């Protein structure tokens, strides 16, 4: 009786252990959950303290339809945050490009502060650079198109994006260039491919014929036994040896001949160019104009509100107001400041502009020389949909943002704000 | 060497033309060829893909330094290991050729069906390297010499020495100079720049970026020489690994009594 | 010498040996349907619903596929292996040589199916992953590529490999008497690719943000790919098996004797 009970218990234990181990195996395979394509993929502290993209404009409207071969231009500014996270490499090696689903768009030209960006470059923290990315539509479909900067070891940091519908036929795509030696390349995507296929085919045929030379004979059992018997002359005949020697000569001669004709046809070649482009460090035109200090910052989860208590000193000679608070591509605009409202283009992606206004505890302008403490409240579901609420899962509970101030003349002054941010769960 | 009675019977049986034994033997040949074909594509391709794959995928990674040095070294591993059983157990000097063909078949299928038809990369950007001449030379040296040391030195190094010359005829058109946005690049750089790879910024390319000593631009020769030297050693080492993996024995089966086998059956 | 009735009767009783290719062909067709179907699915569902893992449509079109795969694969694994064990031949010591030969050839033919599955896991879907990395800004553990590579192709060949191993040890005396290390490596070694996936995803989540293929983080896969070299060892063992078995069914002239 006891034996039956204990054996039943054993069986249950075994079953429980089996289930646990299967689940554990599945779990081992699912590490790294909660990641995705695009900007939502990255941890909030990374997105808020690395790049801030603003004044981003596209040459077509959001959700516009264009044809294959049409050109799209993206311009704007990208600010490299001075409080760059310690855990990722500084942007001493970066590459300006586009976040599109692969080569659905061709990259025509890219510039950072007017410097061509075909190579990688390096930038300085705390500075803002003008970028320009020109793309050419290649594959039909509905594509999300953003500017992007890859930072060595951090990966791609993505700017705001719009939807672009590309209509037409992918076969109609054409991209022509002319080499320095005068060769006209009609279509870069198919250039010199027939030659590649030709040489692959030649060598493949030689290889196949050589294999068939052996496969036509009984292979496995017979040869195994002949090897055991030591009958090497039956296994590798004189004929085989003659053919092998001829093949060695033939292969070497073919290689020499192929290289000679190639040298004649392409006498002037250059190796892959691996240099780095250089961009001068831009002058920070806002330096010293406004001093901003984060006194405290809270993130209230249920209400999706970030509240920052900031001490702001106006060092200019014109009164200023807080016009915009932007973090990780989301824009919170103060509706009471007309100049700030003008800063939001009509076609700008709506999901990146908070519906609610930016709430400032004191809307009266900060006078020249005055220091004010303001509560800045930014509320929107965007904090959640853009997965910035997963601040809670970050090993670093801090934030970074840009504050846009507007003076009496409607001129804009931009300053960083950063600090620790505390989550609040209860009212 | 003398065959056992069973072996002698079997050899006589399978060498009798049109006999049942010959037919069974040929059928087994067909299965084995099919098994080896698919298994070698899988194993060799995944090996190359994850060691020198990036250079092989993209035209703008095919430089004079890393690509030329590393690829032959990694190409040698599995063909050298398989050369042992192929040659020393079956008298077939074809491991290199078979591996090379299997590899490029796997690579071309992947580039066409995956890289091009799925994610729209153009063929000028994604063609695989030619690997057959060197690996075939390796086989041929083994056939003629039947000697491990001679094959290591001349066959192993042939994989490296043949690599750059085999690929220059197809790579040269992509190294013509181009001026774009006022910058000098070559056609391969242009292709890499133009056809967006969202996760491959330019700096990620593991390519020659210049040193103080490139011996007057003869980087390819230097890389090939070094690669050839390492290939000699690698052939020998991997032949030995192949020998070890081929001659693995057995371990006792503790559950064999459940299938009606007793301890005395081990004697059979 | 005149042929006796006895000899004629005996000669008539020996059935010719025929290769049974049906299971192999069926297996290949099933695999083509599975892997071809998956590739077809990727062609549209990856682009329409597979670019953003936070999108609810991703859950519908991709995560459901993932969970479905896991359930089916775990079920099939235990079903196949369990069936093969439960229906094992309990009298391998009494197995007739002709039957043994039939089983051996069937087993070898199913190795073709195994190798075919390994092709899809090791070559087709594996290299395709490189291209999907270039399409999304950052790859994750669950993408239209990974869902068919790590969570379908690899489990499929693991199921086949283990089934072949269990067939060998329950129906082929040569492989049942002693466990072939080469066979273990060939069919179970690639199984270790799956935990390597866990290690790989962990590395990508916490260290490696840049996507290129030839990083040490991936070399666990390479190492276990090498176990396929042990296939040559298995081949040698099949040779030894043939030396032992064939003379029991054929004579010196190559004619079947039983």
Residues of chain B with pLDDT under 50: 267-268
Domain containing A299: what range?
290-424
Choose the mutation target among C43, C137, C144, C193 for the interface with A, i.e. most A CBs under 10 Å: C137
Task: Say if residue A13's pLDDT is above 60.
Answer: no
How sure is the predictor about C253, in pLDDT bands with cuts at 50, 70 and 90? Answer: confident
How sure is the predictor about C5, in pLDDT bands with cuts at 50, 70 and 90? Answer: low
Tell me whether residue A71 is in a domain. Answer: yes
Please judge whether B35 and C251 are an interchain contact, meaning their C-beta atoms are less than 8 angstroms apart: no
Among C51, C150, C239, whose Cβ lies nearest the Cβ of A224?
A: C239
Q: Are strands A141-151 and A105-112 parallel, antiparallel or unpaired?
A: unpaired
| Residue keyed to tokens 């297996």 | C27
Are both A344 and A385 inside the same structural domain?
yes
Among A215, A226, A271, whose Cβ lies nearest the Cβ of B33?
A: A215
Q: Check residue C209 and give its pLDDT.
A: 59
Q: Check residue A38 and give its pLDDT.
A: 46
Give me the helices (H) in chain C, please.
5-13, 22-49, 56-58, 64-86, 97-119, 125-133, 146-148, 154-171, 173-177, 181-188, 193-206, 219-225, 230-245
Task: Say if residue A386's pLDDT is above 70.
Answer: no
Q: Check residue C36 and give its pLDDT.
A: 96
Cα–Cα distance measured from residue A132 to residue A117, given in angstroms and rounded to the nearest whole number: 10
Note which residues in 146-205 of chain A have CB less than 8 A from chain B.
148, 150, 152, 155-156, 170, 175, 177-181, 183, 185, 188-193, 195-196, 199-200, 203-204
- With beta carbons less than 8 A apart as the criterion, state whether A99 and C137 touch: yes
Among C116, C185, C254, whose Cβ lies nearest the Cβ of B14?
A: C254
Tell me whether residue C5 is in a domain. Answer: no
Tell me whether residue A368 is in a domain. Answer: yes
Please judge whether C53 and A35 are an interchain contact, meaning their C-beta atoms are less than 8 angstroms apart: yes
Please judge whether C138 and A148 are an interchain contact, meaning their C-beta atoms are less than 8 angstroms apart: no
Residues B168-189: pLDDT tens digits? 999 999 999 999 999 999 999 9
Q: Check residue A41 and give its pLDDT.
A: 55
Choose the mutation target among C209, C236, C238, C241 for the interface with A, i.e. most A CBs under 10 Å: C209
| CB within 8 Å of B197: residues ≥ 6 apart | A102, A103, B58, C134
Residues A219-256: pLDDT tens digits? 999 999 999 999 999 999 999 999 999 999 999 999 99
How sure is the predictor about A383, in pLDDT bands with cuts at 50, 70 and 90? Answer: confident
Q: Give the mean pLDDT of C113-139.
A: 87
Q: Check residue C3 and give its pLDDT.
A: 57
Q: Does B89 reach chain C within 8 Å, measured CB to CB?
A: yes
Task: Say if residue A44's pLDDT is above 60.
Answer: yes
Residues of chain C with C-beta less than 8 angstroms from the C-beta of B200: 134, 211-212
Residues of chain B with C-beta less than 8 angstroms from the C-beta of C115: 34-39, 42
Among C93, C235, C247, whose Cβ lies nearest the Cβ of B9?
A: C247
Q: Check residue A22 and give its pLDDT.
A: 41
Which is more confident, A376 or B209?
Answer: A376
* Percent residues over pLDDT 70 in chain A: 88
Tell me whether residue C254 is in a domain. Answer: no
Q: CA separation (Å) from A157 to A45, A295, A423?
A: 12, 28, 25
Which is more confident, A304 or B14?
Answer: B14
Q: Check residue B265 and give its pLDDT.
A: 56
Note which residues in 290-329 of chain A have CB less than 8 A from chain C.
none
Residues of chain B with C-beta less than 8 angstroms from the C-beta of A155: 199
Q: Across chain B, which distance is largest between two alpha carbons, in Å?
A: 83
Task: Say if residue A31's pLDDT is above 60.
Answer: no
Cα–Cα distance measured from residue C81 to residue C167, given in angstroms and rounded to the nearest whole number: 8
Which is more confident, A46 or A18?
Answer: A46
Q: Check residue C193 and give its pLDDT.
A: 75
Please judge whether B9 and C219 are an interchain contact, meaning their C-beta atoms are less than 8 angstroms apart: no
**Number of folded domains that form chain A:** 3
Number of other CB atoms surrounding residue A190 within 10 Å: 13
**Number of folded domains that form chain C:** 1
Q: Does A395 reach chain C within 8 Å, measured CB to CB?
A: no
How sure is the predictor about A201, in pLDDT bands with cuts at 50, 70 and 90? Answer: very high
How sure is the predictor about A86, in pLDDT bands with cuts at 50, 70 and 90? Answer: confident
Tell me whether residue A346 is in a domain. Answer: yes
Tell me whether residue A14 is in a domain. Answer: no
- With beta carbons less than 8 A apart as the criterion, state whether B45 and B56 touch: no
Q: Give the mean pLDDT of A298-318.
A: 90
Lowest-pLDDT choice from A266-270, C51-55, C110-114: C51-55
How sure is the predictor about A356, in pLDDT bands with cuts at 50, 70 and 90? Answer: confident
Q: Give the mean pLDDT of C87-96.
A: 92
Q: Give the mean pLDDT of A390-410.
A: 85
Q: In the listed set A213, A230, A265, which residue is the last one of a domain according to the structure?
A: A265
Cα–Cα distance measured from residue C191 to residue C155, given in angstroms and rounded to the nearest whole number: 8
Cα–Cα distance measured from residue B49 to residue C215, given in angstroms and rounded to the nearest whole number: 11
Q: Does A115 reach chain B within 8 Å, measured CB to CB?
A: no
Listed residue (A387, A333, A366) closest to A54, CA to CA: A333
Are both A141 and A203 inside the same structural domain?
no
- Reading phi first (left if > 0) and then psi (alpha if -120 to 50, else beta), residue B119 is in alpha
Task: Say if residue C9's pLDDT is above 60.
Answer: no
Residue C216 sits in a domain whose CATH number is 1.20.1050.50
Which is more confident, A45 or A415?
Answer: A415
Choose the mutation target among B50, B83, B264 for the interface with C, i.e. most C CBs under 10 Å: B50
Q: Check residue A398 and give its pLDDT.
A: 86
Domain containing C42: what range?
19-47+61-248
What is the nearest CA distance from B17 to chain A, expressed in angstroms? 11
Task: Say if residue A36's pLDDT is above 60.
Answer: no
Q: Where are the domains of chain B?
A: 26-244
Q: Does B194 reach chain C within 8 Å, measured CB to CB?
A: no
Q: Give the mean pLDDT of A59-82.
A: 97
Choose the mutation target among A220, A241, A248 for the interface with B, i.e. most B CBs under 10 Å: A220
Residues C210-240: pLDDT tens digits? 667 777 778 778 877 787 788 888 988 998 8
Q: In the listed set A145, A178, A211, which residue is the last one of a domain according to the structure?
A: A178
Task: Say if residue A39's pLDDT is above 60.
Answer: no
Which chain A residue has the Cα nearest residue B89?
A224
Please judge whether B28 and C242 are an interchain contact, meaning their C-beta atoms are less than 8 angstroms apart: yes
- Reading phi first (left if > 0) and then psi (alpha if -120 to 50, else beta), residue A102 is in left
Task: Say if residue A42's pLDDT is above 80.
Answer: no
Q: Check residue C211 and give its pLDDT.
A: 67
Please judge whether B46 and C222 are an interchain contact, meaning their C-beta atoms are less than 8 angstroms apart: yes
Task: Say if residue C191's pLDDT is above 60.
Answer: yes
How sure is the predictor about A7, in pLDDT bands with cuts at 50, 70 and 90? Answer: low
| Side-by-side strand order, sheet with A359-360 | A359-360, A371-379, A305-314, A290-300, A422-424
Q: What angle do CA A173, A176, A178 make, to 5 degrees?
A: 170
Are both A45 and A163 inside the same structural domain?
yes
End-to-end CA separation in angstroms for chain C: 22
Cα–Cα distance measured from residue B181 to residue B192, given in angstroms and rounded to the nearest whole number: 15
Q: Does C244 reach chain B within 8 Å, measured CB to CB?
A: yes
- With beta carbons less than 8 A apart as the criterion, state whether A302 and A314 touch: no
Please judge whether B201 and A190 are an interchain contact, meaning their C-beta atoms are less than 8 angstroms apart: no
Number of other CB atoms surrounding residue A172 within 10 Å: 11
The pTM (predicted TM-score) of the whole model is 0.90
Please judge whether B32 and C108 are an interchain contact, meaning their C-beta atoms are less than 8 angstroms apart: yes
What is the nearest CA distance from A159 to chain C, expressed in angstroms? 12
Tell me whether residue C53 is in a domain. Answer: no
Q: Check residue A2 and give its pLDDT.
A: 43
Among C47, C209, C243, whose Cβ lies nearest the Cβ of A153?
A: C209
- With beta carbons less than 8 A apart as the criterion, state whether B118 and C46 touch: yes
How does the average pLDDT of chain A come out, rounded? 88
Number of other CB atoms surrounding residue A171 within 10 Å: 7
Which chain B residue has the Cα nearest residue A218?
B26
Tell me whether residue A345 is in a domain. Answer: yes
* Percent residues over pLDDT 90 in chain C: 54
Residues of chain A with C-beta less than 8 angstroms from the C-beta of B172: 262-263, 265-266, 269
Q: Check residue C219 and give its pLDDT.
A: 79
* Interface A:C, Cβ pairs < 8 A: 94
Tell me the CATH number for domain B26-244.
1.20.1450.10
């Amino acid at each position: 009786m006891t034996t039956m009970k204990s054996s039943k218990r054993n069986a249950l234990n075994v079953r429980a252990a089996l289930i646990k181990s299967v689940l554990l195996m599945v779990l081992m395979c699912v590490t790294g959950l909660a990641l995705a394509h695009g900007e939502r993929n990255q941890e909030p502290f990374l997105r808020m303290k690395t790049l801030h993209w603003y004044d981003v404009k596209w040459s077509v409207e959001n959700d516009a339809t264009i044809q294959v071969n049409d050109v799209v231009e993206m311009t704007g500014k990208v600010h490299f945050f001075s409080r760059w996270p310690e855990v990722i490499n500084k942007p001493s090696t970066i590459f300006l490009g586009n976040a599109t689903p692969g080569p659905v768009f061709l990259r025509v030209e890219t510039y950072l502060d007017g410097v061509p960006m075909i190579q990688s470059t390096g930038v300085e923290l705390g500075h803002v650079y003008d970028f320009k990315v020109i793309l050419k539509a290649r594959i039909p479909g509905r594509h999300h198109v953003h500017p992007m900067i890859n930072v060595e070891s951090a990966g791609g940091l993505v700017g705001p994006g719009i939807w672009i519908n590309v209509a037409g036929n992918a076969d109609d795509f054409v991209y022509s260039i002319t080499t320095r030696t005068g060769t006209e390349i009609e279509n870069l995507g198919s250039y010199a491919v027939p030659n590649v296929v030709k040489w692959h085919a030649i060598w493949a045929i030689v290889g196949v014929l050589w294999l068939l030379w052996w496969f036509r004979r009984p292979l496995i059992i017979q040869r195994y036994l002949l090897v055991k018997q030591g009958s090497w002359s039956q296994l590798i005949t004189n004929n085989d040896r003659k053919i092998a020697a001829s093949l060695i000569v033939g292969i070497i001669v073919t290689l020499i001949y192929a290289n000679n004709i190639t040298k004649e046809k392409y006498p002037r070649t250059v190796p892959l160019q691996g240099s780095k482009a250089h961009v001068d460090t831009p002058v920070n035109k806002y330096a010293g104009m406004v001093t901003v200090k984060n006194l405290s910052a809270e993130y209230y989860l249920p209400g999706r509100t970030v509240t920052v208590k900031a001490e702001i000193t106006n060092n200019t000679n014109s009164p200023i107001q807080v016009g915009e608070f932007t973090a990780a591509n989301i824009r919170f605009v103060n509706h009471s400041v007309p100049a700030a409202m003008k800063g939001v283009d009509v076609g700008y992606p709506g999901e990146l502009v908070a519906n609610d206004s930016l709430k400032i505890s004191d809307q009266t302008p900060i006078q020249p020389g005055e220091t004010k403490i303001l509560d800045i409240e930014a509320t929107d579901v965007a904090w959640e949909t853009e997965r910035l609420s997963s601040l809670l899962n970050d090993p670093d509970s801090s934030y970074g943002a840009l504050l846009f101030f507007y003076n009496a003349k409607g001129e804009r002054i931009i300053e960083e704000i950063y600090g620790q941010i505390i989550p609040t769960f209860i009212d | 060497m003398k065959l056992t009675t069973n072996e002698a019977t079997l050899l006589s049986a399978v060498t009798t033309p049109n006999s049942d034994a010959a037919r069974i033997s040929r059928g087994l040949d067909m299965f084995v060829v099919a098994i080896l074909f698919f298994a070698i594509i899988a194993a060799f391709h995944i090996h190359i893909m994850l060691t020198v794959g990036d250079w092989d995928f993209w035209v703008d990674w095919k430089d004079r330094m890393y690509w030329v040095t590393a690829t032959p070294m990694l190409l040698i591993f599995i063909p050298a290991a398989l050369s042992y059983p192929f040659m020393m157990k079956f008298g077939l000097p074809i491991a290199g050729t078979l591996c090379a063909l299997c590899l490029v078949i796997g690579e071309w299928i992947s580039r066409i069906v995956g890289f091009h038809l799925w994610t729209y990369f153009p063929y000028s950007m994604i063609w695989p390297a030619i690997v057959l001449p060197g690996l075939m030379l390796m086989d041929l040296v083994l056939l003629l010499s039947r000697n491990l040391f001679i094959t290591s030195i001349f066959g192993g190094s042939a994989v490296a020495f043949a690599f750059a010359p085999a690929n220059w005829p197809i790579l040269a058109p992509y190294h013509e100079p181009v001026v774009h946005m006022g910058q000098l690049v070559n056609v391969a750089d242009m292709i890499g720049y133009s056809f967006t790879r969202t996760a491959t910024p330019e700096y990620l390319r593991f390519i020659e970026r210049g040193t103080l000593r490139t011996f007057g631009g003869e980087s390819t020769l230097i890389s090939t020489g070094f690669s050839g030297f390492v290939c000699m050693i690698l052939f020998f080492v991997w032949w030995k690994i192949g020998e070890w993996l081929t001659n693995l024995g057995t371990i006792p089966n503790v559950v064999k009594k459940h299938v009606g086998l007793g301890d005395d059956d081990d004697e059979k | 010498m005149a042929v006796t009735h006895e000899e004629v009767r005996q000669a008539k009783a020996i059935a010719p040996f025929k290769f049974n290719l049906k299971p192999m062909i069926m297996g290949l067709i099933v695999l083509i349907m599975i892997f071809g179907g998956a590739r077809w699915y990727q062609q549209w569902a990856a682009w329409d619903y597979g670019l953003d893992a936070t999108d609810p449509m991703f859950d519908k079109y991709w995560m459901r596929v993932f969970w479905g795969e896991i359930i089916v694969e775990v079920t099939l694994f235990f079903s196949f292996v369990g069936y093969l064990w439960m229906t094992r031949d309990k009298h391998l010591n009494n197995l007739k040589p002709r039957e043994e030969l039939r089983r051996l050839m069937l087993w070898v033919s199913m190795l073709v199916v195994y190798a075919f599955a390994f092709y899809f896991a090791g070559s087709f879907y594996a290299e395709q992953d490189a291209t999907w990395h270039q399409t999304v800004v950052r790859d994750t553990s669950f993408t239209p590529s990974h869902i068919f590579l790590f969570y379908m192709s690899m489990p499929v060949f693991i199921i086949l490999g283990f089934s072949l191993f269990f067939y060998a040890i329950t129906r082929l005396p040569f492989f049942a008497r002693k466990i072939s290390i080469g066979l273990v490596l060939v069919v179970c070694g690639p199984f270790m690719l799956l935990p390597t996936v866990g290690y790989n995803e962990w590395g990508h989540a916490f260290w490696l943000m840049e996507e290129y293929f030839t990083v040490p983080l991936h070399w666990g896969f390479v190492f276990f790919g090498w176990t396929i070299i042990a296939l040559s060892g298995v081949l040698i063992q099949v040779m030894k098996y043939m030396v032992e078995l064939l003379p029991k069914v054929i004579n010196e002239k190559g004619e079947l004797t039983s």
